[in-house]
Amino acid sequence: MGRWASYFLGHPWRIVVHSGQTLALAHYFFNHLYSFGWGYGPSMLPTFMVDGDVIIFNKHHRRGRDVRVGDCVSYQIPVAPGEDGVKRVVGMPGDYVLMNSPGATSDRMLQVPKGHCYIVGDNMPWSRDSRDFGPVPLALIKGKAIAKGQMAGWNPWKWFEPIQNGITEESS
């Protein structure tokens, strides 16, 4: 009998205690530090592939904490309770944003209200976003996308690549 087998068989409650500790640690890790999910659909092309990139989310950014314009965030879709989405932030509280797609017949602007952000998909014609349901409360932000990848191939170091902020400031 191996060392670990005799350790657990000698004291059956150790299995229960260690299992409980492991579950508590996993719960804390996935609810408060990092989580992962799958991106699918055409709304975020070319940032995420249609067939389902694996995305790692940093939960430090829950409720909009330290989120900036250009970040990709996971959020609870306000018009579909229980469903989550991933979109890019294009406006934070106080910012003025174009309410429609660029080149649309109307060039109406909106000031993002306090406690909200304005999110849009990178592939605007195929995205259901703030242009449809308005600014999203920061409380619905679940995390910031920090890496993406596809679990293909044999080299795990190449599975994930960091997600860059997609909006750069223009110098005048």
The 10 Å Cβ neighbour count of residue 25 is 10
Is residue 58 helix, strand or coil? strand
Classify residue 64 by its DSSP letter: G
Kind and range of the H or E run holding 130: helix 130-133
Provide the residue type at 81 as one letter.
P
Q: Please identify which of the residues 43, 74, 127, 130 carries the catalytic annotation.
A: 43
Instruction: Say how far residue 168 (Cα) sits from the centre of its chain.
Output: 20
Q: Hunting for tokens 């092309």 — which residue is that? A: 45
87 in active site: yes
Q: Please identify which of the residues 74, 87, 130, 148 carries the catalytic annotation.
A: 87
Tokens found for residue 143: 């995390």
How far apart CA 24 and CA 104 sit, in angstroms, is 50
74 in active site: no
Residues serving a catalytic function are 43, 87
